[in-house]
Structure 1
Amino acid sequence: MQRLSFRPLGLVLAAALVTASAALAQEKPLRVAEIWEIPTLDPTQDGTLMKEKAMVTETLVTGNPDFTLAPGLATSWSRESDTVWVFRLRPGVNFHDGSPLTAEAVVASLKAALERSGTVRSYTKISDLAARDPATVAITTSEPFPALPAALVYASAAIVSPASPKMPDGTIERPIGTGPFKVSAWQPAAQSFTVERFDGYWGEKPSIPAVTFRGIPDPTTRALEMQKGSVDFTSEVPYGDLDTLAAKGFAVSRNVTARNYVLNFGSLKDTPFADVRVRKALSLTIDREEIAQYVLFGMGRAGITAFPDTMAFADKSITVPKSDLAAAKKLLAEAGYVAGSGGAMTKDGKPLAFTLYTYPQRPGLVPIAGAIQSQLRKLGVAVEIKVTTFSAIAKEMKPGDARLAAMASAMYPHPDFYLRQTYHSKGATNTWGYANPKVDDALATATTTRDEGERTAAYNLVQRIAAEEEPCLTIAHYGVNVVMKPGVTNYAFNPIAHDYMLDPKMKLAP
């Protein structure tokens, strides 16, 4: 007779756990080379990292690739009056600690974001928040603001649990969000953190078990790390490396995104840049087509306005001017400049020259700066290039200097975002002091009218004035590259991303 064998229940459970752990261990994490340093995980300070890349946090409203709005943590919203909006929350959503998403938690999260981020205050114009019931949030703006739902797509307005661990100064140390991934490890000294799959996620569950991020600000180093096999996914590698990486079997994509290469001046007051003729002379000397095709290896489009004509926001009547050195010299002569020793343009004995600051994280910036330096030399304008960190530029840059940066044109999907912050006299990024009452009036009209045609006309007027006066010089519309090892699949670039946006649907082969 066959004898039955019984194993203690504890041994059976232990064996099952070992088997499960072994299975999970075989599921490899996705290793991402992040293009920026990683000094914080606080969404109010780096919402893009936590929402778009790590997928830890989510916003009330989200954006589609075509720049239309879609429900996020709010399933619907309505405008009660010129300044009051009501948002209904998605049912069945939990934070990573298991607590439910409630109106009270949303109010607390947005209040903290408003306190800690001047950008959130500027973008959203929120003056008051109230939880009308557990699933309803009322938001009041300081003025009529039809773009509020779009502004709430902004990543630093993402919702986190009030229970998120904080430092003594209020900085969120580890955000507890509602996204498909939750923070599992954070190594500030190593510029690295890991997120793991959140099995209680309300939406589609990720197939990748975890994602590890490592800050590698240098584009060349990111490309080398890909070839060494230490990372699986990265973005913004040197454009000249793309064909080499593709030939080695890496998946390479080139994508148009909502970002501009912009040269902005230190100040438009008491500097040569205060004269619109000087600004336009510099602009006419810059060969945008040459930069787009040869400096950026086709990873960009020549531009002069806020939006490329592929975006619905663009005033398509505006065309990009061709480089015209003779016209540029004529404008400088009208502004009182004469050719001095060696052809240098001078006025009252002072040469027209400036330092052009830029930073290396965006691989197109330094090459574009070199091209601008070479092209302006033909005009008799000396440009010294200084490459440093983005944060250091604000400390070192003087009124007579300039900065070349990659500026997001749709951090939230609405034309008001870029036009207001860039061209309004009190715009958040308008540090150069541009002021035109017609621009301010047009932007005011755009926020108060209920007529969509009138609103579109107002935004188009701002674009035309900016193209004529050029308070800052748009050089080209941005192209971003993404490089992945062959085993990474189901990735689709989202053009509303600040840099790149990961997707829970992504898969990683064993």
Structure 2
Amino acid sequence: MRRTLALLATTMLSFGTPALADDTLDVVAQFEIQSPEPSTSGYIFTRMGVAETLVDAEPDGRLVPALATEWSTSEDGLAWTFALRDGVSFHDGSPMTAEAVANALTIAQAKPGPLAKTPVTGIAAEDGAVVLTLSEPFAALPAYLAHYSAQILAPAAYGADGAGVEVIGTGPYRITELSPPLSLKAEAFDDYWGEAPHVPGVSYNAVSRVETRALMAELGDADFVFGLDPASVARLGNSDAVTVHSVAIPRTLMLKVNAADPALADLDARRALSLAIDRAGIAKAVLRYPEGATQLFPPSVGDWHDEALEPLAYDPEAARGLLAGLGWEAGPDGILTRDGERFALTLTTYPDRPELPLVAAVLEQQFRDIGVELTIDTTNSSEITSRHADGSLDLGLIARNFALIPNPIGTVLSDYAPTGDWGAMGWENAEIVDLARSVGRGDGGDAERARTAEILQTELPVIPIAWYRQTLAVADGVEGTVIDPWERTFGLQKLTIPE
């Protein structure tokens, strides 16, 4: 406790002013600001209301105009025209022209990210519009342009090589101080094209330790606090200093499985691991959620959630039977062996989301109950993708977001068609590739989505555990809080604070 209080004191000294002072609202979360580069840190800039995209999304996932007022496609689906909003200025005073928008999108497409994976072959400025040409129809394109990496920045925001060097956006707040990796400060932008924000100033601070974030909320040293562990949420729920908000979001806590590992290559092995997981127990006792996941896609992703799917079950005895059928036998210590090899796996996870190490500890016990030895490696989240790339990952415990692109097809295409860094590993399915591409083009519908969900439920290239809820602690007196389930915005523009 003494160490935690010392950390808190250090944090408070570094942040300076207390919560709600100087008409500034302070946001705290666990995510560091790597640089002014949109492809790596753009999600902070869009959530803080600094940068905007052509397309936005309502809480129900419906796409709506943002910097583009409307969009249309040619009859053959190979050209999309986005009409641009008039009278928009960048934070440096320069106008948002079609040429500036085309420049930002061209730079974004050249970098790793969703736009680079689309069939866009050309981006051109026209009178009051930008036109994107494609090599094949792609109905999901507007949703891809809502991704934070496609945010529209002024030409001066980029270096000669296209790297982001300054965040010059169009949002209701303009940055006054950017100090990677920990903080930024911003003030209301007087020439904003939309509704003026009510709070004159906002700040963001990255705080890695969940205990520190929770104490800051409890003691009134931050106004908006994200990334809280279940125990802190329960404690803060009884506090008069904050109000805890929670909403279901399109994110799933799941095990990423290396299906190329000899111990996991057989489907019955993956089924055994799934049957060993007490999802209801983890949801209620560890996460304080009402229920565990019954399939990969949560109800919050609408058309992708299939009520007709047989739900994932908890049956340790059946799991033992499946493993015995694969030739595994219990050794003296209860751990299974086959051909002289122990059934031993390393589970890699990360503390950015504080619930993940807690769930990992429970999985260690539940897997041992069926004879599987689990070693937990809690490290940087980047190790998941790194170990995917070099083939050394056994299991990854991750929180996969189906809302990065406000159409789940974006994540499905990235993770399974073909497999990607955060999706399946050592597993391929030609049918799911065809299904996902059909949905992406726009000629696939409910039947294709349902079949995709069925394949993932049957083959288990990833093993769902729980559906997420976004939880936020808000300082007493802050009004107008609305949690965006698509995690695109903190909604700071709508907030009011005590005078």
Separation in 1, partners of 2:290, 2:115: 31
Show the 5 A alignment for 1:294-305. 294-298=285-289, 301-305=292-296
1:263 equivalent in alignment to 2:255: yes
User: Aligned partners of 2:219 and 2:424: how far apart in 1?
Assistant: 42
Aligned residue for 1:13?
Answer: none
SS at match of 1:274: coil
Unaligned 5+ residue runs, structure 2? 1-19
Query: In structure 2, how many angstroms separate the alpha carbons of the residues matched to 1:331 and 1:126?
Result: 46
**For the Cα contact (< 8 Å) 2:385–2:421, is it kept in 1?**
no
Partner of 1:46: 41
Shift of 1:41: 2.8
Q: Does residue 441 in structure 1 map to residue 431 in structure 2?
A: no
Aligned residue for 1:370, secondary structure, equals: helix
Q: Distance in 2 between matches of 1:428 and 1:268?
A: 14
Aligned counterparts of 2:466 and 2:248: Cα–Cα separation in 1: 11
Structure 1 Cα separation of the partners of residues 326 and 136 of structure 2: 41
For the residue of structure 2 that corresponds to 1:302, the secondary structure is: coil
User: Is 1:333 the equivalent of 2:328?
Assistant: no
Equivalent residue, structure 1, for 2:7: none
For residue 152 of structure 1, what is the aligned residue in structure 2? 145
Larger radius of gyration: 1
Distance in structure 1 (CA, Å) of the matches to 2:52 and 2:495: 18
The alpha carbon displacement at 1:385 in A equals 1.0
- Distance in 1 of aligned mates of 2:203 and 2:291: 30
- The 5-angstrom pairing of residues 120-131 of structure 1 reads 120-122=115-117, 124-131=118-125
Which structure 2 residues correspond to residues 198-277 of structure 1 after superposition, within 5 A? 198-249=189-240, 250-265=242-257, 267-277=258-268
8 Å CA contact 2:348–2:393 kept in 1: the answer is: no
**Distance in 1, Cα, partners of 2:280 & 2:87:** 51
Q: 3-state SS of the aligned residue for 2:436?
A: helix
Q: Secondary structure at the match of 2:157?
A: coil
Are the counterparts in 2 of residues 45 and 117 from structure 1 also a CA contact under 8 Å? no
Matched residue, 2:136: 143
1:493–1:204 CA distance, 2 compared to 1 (3 A): same
8 Å contact from structure 2 (residues 304, 453) kept in 1: no
Q: Distance in 2 between matches of 1:349 and 1:162?
A: 62
**1:356 counterpart SS class:** strand
Contact 2:400 2:422 in 1 (8 A): no
**CA displacement 1:481-503 (0-9 Å, x = unmatched):** 100110211111111116x6233
Contact 1:256 1:300 (C-alpha < 8 Å) held by counterparts: no
| Aligned position for 1:357 | 348
- The structure-2 alpha-carbon separation of the partners of 1:68 and 1:383, relative to structure 1 and needing over 3 Å to count, comes to same
Q: Partners of 1:415 and 1:395 in 2: how far apart?
A: 24
How much has 1:431 moved relative to structure 2? 5.9
The answer to whether 1:187 aligns with 2:179 is: yes
Query: 2 CA distance for matches of 1:396 and 1:222?
Result: 30
Identical residues among aligned pairs (%):
34
What is aligned with 1:174? 166
* Offset of residue 460 of structure 1: 1.3
Q: 2:333 aligns with which of 332, 342, 351?
A: 342
Match of 2:72 in 1: 78
- Look up the match of 2:154: 161
How far the C-alpha of 1:396 sits from its partner, in A, is 5.6
- Provide the rounded CA distance (Å) in 2 between the counterparts of 1:319 and 1:220: 39
Q: Secondary structure at the match of 2:116?
A: helix
The 1:181–1:372 alpha-carbon spacing in structure 2 relative to 1, beyond 3 Å, is same
How far apart in 2 are the matches of 1:480 and 1:248?
Answer: 19
Distance 1:426 1:358, change over 3 A: closer
Query: Does residue 505 of the first structure (1) align with residue 499 of the second (2)?
Result: no
* Map of 1:8 onto structure 2: none
Instruction: Return the offset for 1:261.
Output: 0.4
Counterpart position of 2:407: 414
TM-score, length-normalised on structure 1?
0.89
1:344-493 equivalent positions in 2, closer than 5 A? 344-395=335-386, 399=392, 401-427=394-420, 429-430=422-423, 432-448=425-441, 450=443, 454-493=444-483
Deviation per CA, 1:360-401: give whole Å up to 9, x if none. Answer: 121221111111111111100011111112124444675352
Deviations, residues 258-303 of structure 1 (Å, cap 9, x unaligned): 11101112x3224322211111110011011111111101276423
Report the TM-score when normalising by structure 2: 0.90
Change in Cα spacing, 1:309 to 1:104, as seen in structure 2 (3 Å) is closer
Tell me the amino acid that sits aligned with residue 412 of structure 1. Answer: I
Range that drifts further, 168-177 or 385-394? 168-177
Is the 8 Å Cα contact of residues 35 and 234 (structure 1) preserved in structure 2?
no
Contact 1:60 1:153 in 2 (8 A): yes
CA contact (8 A) 1:272 1:400 kept: no
The answer to whether the 8 Å contact 2:387/2:393 transfers is no
Query: Separation in 1 of the partners of 2:350 and 2:218?
Result: 24
Equivalent position SS for 2:214: helix
Bigger Cα displacement from structure 2, 426-435 vs 203-212? 426-435
Structure 1: how far apart are the matches of 2:154 and 2:356? Answer: 38
- Distance in 2, matches of 1:422 and 1:277, equals 22
How far the C-alpha of 1:235 sits from its partner, in A, is: 0.9
Q: In structure 1, the residue corresponding to 2:491 is in which secondary structure?
A: coil
Contact 2:303 2:446 in 1 (8 A): no
CA distance in structure 2 between the aligned counterparts of 1:309 and 1:211, rounded to whole angstroms: 30
* Kept after mapping to 2: 8 A contact 1:193/1:214: yes
Q: Within 2, Cα distance between the matches of 1:119 and 1:353?
A: 35
Establish whether residue 34 from structure 1 lines up as the match of residue 24 from structure 2.
Answer: no
Q: 1:219: Cα distance to partner?
A: 1.4
Give the 3-state SS of the residue equivalent to 1:354 in structure 2.
strand
C-alpha spacing 1:118/1:67, structure 2 compared with 1 (3 Å): closer
Which residue number corresponds to residue 281 of structure 1? 272
Distance change >3 Å, CA 162–CA 327, structure 1 → 2: same
Cα displacement (A) at 1:310: 6.6
Q: CA deviation at 1:84?
A: 1.3
**What is the aligned length?**
476
The aligned amino acid for 1:173 is V
Change (3 A) 1:444 1:165: closer
Per-residue deviation, 1:188: 2.6
Counterpart Cα distance in 2 of 1:420 and 1:307? 17
Shift in alpha-carbon separation, 1:429–1:34, aligned structure 2, 3 A: same
- Paired residue secondary structure (1:343): coil
Q: Which moved more, 1:62-71 or 1:331-340?
A: 331-340
Sort the Cα spacing of 1:300 and 1:198 in 2 relative to 1 into closer, same or farther, 3 A: farther
Mark the CA change 1:286 to 1:211 in structure 2 (over 3 Å): closer, same or farther.
same
Counterpart-to-counterpart distance in 2, 1:437 and 1:380: 33
Q: For residue 418 of structure 2, what is the amino acid of its counterpart?
A: S
